[in-house]
């Protein structure tokens, strides 16, 4: 834990890309292979397991320190970070420098997280209090975050790949490809990862995804000026689905999400359809839920994707297809450096049926669940802008613009692929609850729950924590504290006084929310100081947007 803690604080203390890469390289060069494998799993941004609840940690810390529970809660509300709060409250162990050195990251992850998931509360408490005696305060902060599944490190997978590539003396693109899929399971697998030449090839492995950049509002107004002639670009619909790669190598077919999770169990019909592809084929595309020729909302697809076992009922309710828009490998040959215009020709020869045929009822998903993403044609940016304006009625998010000469890059490489999305939906909502933030915003109430009017009352519809300036957050924090009605740890229930203009990408009916609706990607775009709470929108206003959203 000592070495990983030093890495965490080095990364946390700099915004320099060069310094972050150096910190990562130094850590992986010095750490035992087993610890390096465990660190890579955390740094890669994968799903973190959680073995202890934050409520339990607060209760046990109160008992260990002798402080009353209310004081622990007040300290948490003031500091804004539970891991740091507990580390500061707990007494230091007698000799942390000597005792911490024998607890490696791999051991900590195994014995204090994985092994405790099925343990009873008494065993969990015994382990937690014992580890507290082995760690210095700075190490406790990092361990608390690991324990609760909340460790966030300010590095991207691209930086991790760069550091490991330098260490292994291989190309960064090669290392990025090696890192796709499951991270190294143990020290031996991590050692193989750094081999100058890969000794074993995982035939199931996808390629690193190429991510498009968003056109901001200023650029949208000057597309022709900034992107040049329209003939140099390929336009497609931006589907509101789940990005994925479909891999057929040998007799094996796999489906990978953009989060690099193997989702074969959730999309069995896509796996079956992939068996018809030629051996050595990798398609990049979108998983979409379609029933009776109609695109289903993303919420339905998300419901399907979260399942490990798909029943016949779910298959019938949320049938899925794979819409391909790029060909990355054919006959076992990597095509990513070929220009898009050529990859598109090969893709059209391989996948002949456009997805629009399915939506029009002239093709059947039962005949094959792999379709071609159709192109959107326009002789000018003005014509494409007209098409973009039709996006919501089509159930899509806008247009994708791809330079015809572009290779298939790694990560978010600006300049060749752009998302030209429709303007977000908007509604004025009232802040009902405010929660203290973390990190730079610790101590300030910067996370908000917002509501709309329904039957004379305000009902919650969304949570948002972005879109305001630092100065506005400080001013809102002052108002929140002055209008607090109740306090529940870091959360304050406030008198409804603040109106915010809320933007979101979509809205759908939901049985999981008390309001009966769910909004997608909510964020605040401005503080409506010119409006009173009575001027805010209604739940009926929001529900009317469901039809608008397609």
**Spatial CB neighbours of 379, under 8 Å, sequence gap ≥ 6:** 230
For a pLDDT cut of 90, what percent of the chain falls above it?
37
- The domains found in the chain, sorted by start residue, are 2-147 (1.10.3260.10), 213-421 (3.30.470.30), 425-548 (2.40.50.140)
Residue 54, pLDDT > 80, answer yes
pLDDT bracket for residue 538 (50, 70, 90): very high
Given this model, what pLDDT does residue 96 score? 47
Residue 440, pLDDT > 80, answer no
Lowest mean pLDDT, pick from 84-88, 264-268, 342-346, 435-439: 435-439
Given this model, what pLDDT does residue 214 score? 86
pLDDT bracket for residue 293 (50, 70, 90): confident
Given this model, what pLDDT does residue 202 score? 58
Given this model, what pLDDT does residue 94 score? 59
Q: Do 255 and 262 contact (CB within 8 A), yes or no? A: yes
Given this model, what pLDDT does residue 548 score? 52
Nearest to 256 by CA among 179, 318, 173: 179
Look up the pTM and report it: 0.67
The pLDDT tens digits for 473-506 are 999 999 999 999 998 877 899 999 999 999 988 8
**Spatial CB neighbours of 258, under 8 Å, sequence gap ≥ 6:** 209, 242, 243, 244
Residue 292, pLDDT > 80, answer yes
pLDDT bracket for residue 377 (50, 70, 90): very high
Residue 547, pLDDT > 70, answer no
Given this model, what pLDDT does residue 100 score? 44
CA distance 89 to 91: 6
The pLDDT tens digits for 399-427 are 999 999 999 998 888 889 999 988 888 99
Lowest mean pLDDT, pick from 68-82, 196-210, 378-392: 196-210
Given this model, what pLDDT does residue 62 score? 92
The pLDDT tens digits for 128-160 are 988 888 888 888 888 888 888 878 787 777 888
Lowest mean pLDDT, pick from 43-47, 115-119, 304-308: 43-47
Residue 46, pLDDT > 70, answer no
Given this model, what pLDDT does residue 200 score? 45
Residue 308, pLDDT > 80, answer no
Mean pLDDT value across residues 388-400: 88
Given this model, what pLDDT does residue 133 score? 85
Higher pLDDT, 508 or 166: 166
Q: Do 25 and 167 contact (CB within 8 A), yes or no? A: yes
Nearest to 173 by CA among 182, 164, 181: 164
Given this model, what pLDDT does residue 246 score? 96
Q: What is the mean pLDDT of the chain?
A: 86
What 3-state DSSP class applies to 348? helix
What 3-state DSSP class applies to 240? coil
What 3-state DSSP class applies to 403? strand
């Amino acid at each position: 834990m000592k070495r990983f803690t030093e890495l965490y604080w080095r990364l946390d203390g700099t915004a320099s890309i060069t310094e972050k890469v150096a910190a990562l390289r130094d850590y992986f060069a010095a750490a035992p292979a087993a610890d390096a494998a465990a660190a890579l799993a955390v740094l890669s941004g994968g799903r973190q397991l959680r073995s202890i609840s934050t409520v339990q940690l607060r209760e046990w810390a109160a008992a260990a320190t002798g402080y009353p529970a209310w004081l622990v809660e007040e300290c948490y509300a003031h500091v804004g970070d539970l891991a740091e709060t507990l580390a500061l409250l707990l007494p230091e162990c007698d000799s942390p420098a000597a005792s911490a050195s024998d607890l490696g990251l791999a051991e900590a992850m195994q014995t204090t997280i994985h092994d405790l998931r099925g343990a009873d509360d008494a065993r969990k408490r015994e382990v937690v209090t014992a580890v507290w005696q082995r760690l210095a305060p700075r190490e406790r902060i990092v361990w608390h975050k690991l324990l609760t599944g909340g460790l966030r490190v300010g590095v991207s997978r691209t930086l991790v790949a760069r550091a490991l590539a330098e260490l292994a003396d291989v190309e960064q693109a090669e290392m990025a490809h090696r890192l796709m899929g499951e991270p190294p399971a143990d020290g031996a697998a991590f050692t193989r990862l750094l081999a100058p030449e890969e000794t074993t090839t995982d035939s199931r492995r996808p390629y690193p995804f190429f991510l498009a950049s968003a056109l901001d509002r200023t650029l949208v107004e000057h597309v022709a000026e900034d992107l040049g002639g329209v003939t140099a670009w390929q336009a497609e619909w931006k589907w509101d689905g789940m990005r994925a790669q479909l891999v057929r190598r040998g007799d094996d077919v796999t489906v990978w999400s953009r989060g690099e999770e193997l989702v074969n169990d959730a999309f069995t019909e896509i796996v079956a359809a992939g068996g018809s592809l030629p051996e050595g084929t990798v398609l990049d595309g979108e998983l979409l839920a379609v029933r009776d020729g109609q695109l289903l909302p993303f919420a339905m697809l998300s419901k399907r994707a979260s399942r490990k076992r798909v029943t016949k009922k779910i298959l019938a309710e949320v049938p899925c297809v794979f819409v391909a828009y790029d060909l990355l490998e054919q006959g076992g040959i990597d095509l990513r450096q070929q220009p898009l215009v050529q990859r598109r020709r090969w893709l059209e020869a391989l996948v002949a049926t456009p997805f629009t045929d399915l939506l029009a009822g002239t093709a059947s998903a039962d005949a094959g669940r792999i379709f071609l993403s159709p192109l959107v044609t326009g002789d000018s940016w003005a014509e494409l802008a007209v098409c973009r304006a039709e996006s919501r009625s089509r159930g899509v998010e806008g247009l994708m613009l791809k330079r015809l000469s572009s290779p298939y890059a790694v990560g978010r490489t600006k300049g060749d692929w752009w998302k030209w999305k429709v303007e977000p939906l908007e509604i004025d909502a009232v802040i009902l609850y405010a929660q203290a933030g973390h990190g730079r915003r610790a101590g300030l109430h910067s996370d908000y729950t917002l509501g709309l009017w329904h039957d004379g009352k305000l009902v919650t519809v969304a949570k948002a924590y972005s879109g305001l300036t630092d100065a506005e957050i400080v001013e809102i924090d002052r108002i929140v504290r002055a209008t607090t009605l109740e306090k529940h740890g870091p959360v304050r229930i406030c008198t409804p006084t603040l109106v915010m203009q809320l933007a979101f990408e979509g809205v759908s009916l939901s049985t999981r929310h008390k309001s009966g609706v769910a909004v997608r990607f909510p964020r605040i775009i401005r503080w409506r100081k010119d409006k009173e709470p009575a001027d805010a929108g209604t739940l009926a206003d929001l529900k009317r947007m469901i039809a608008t959203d397609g």
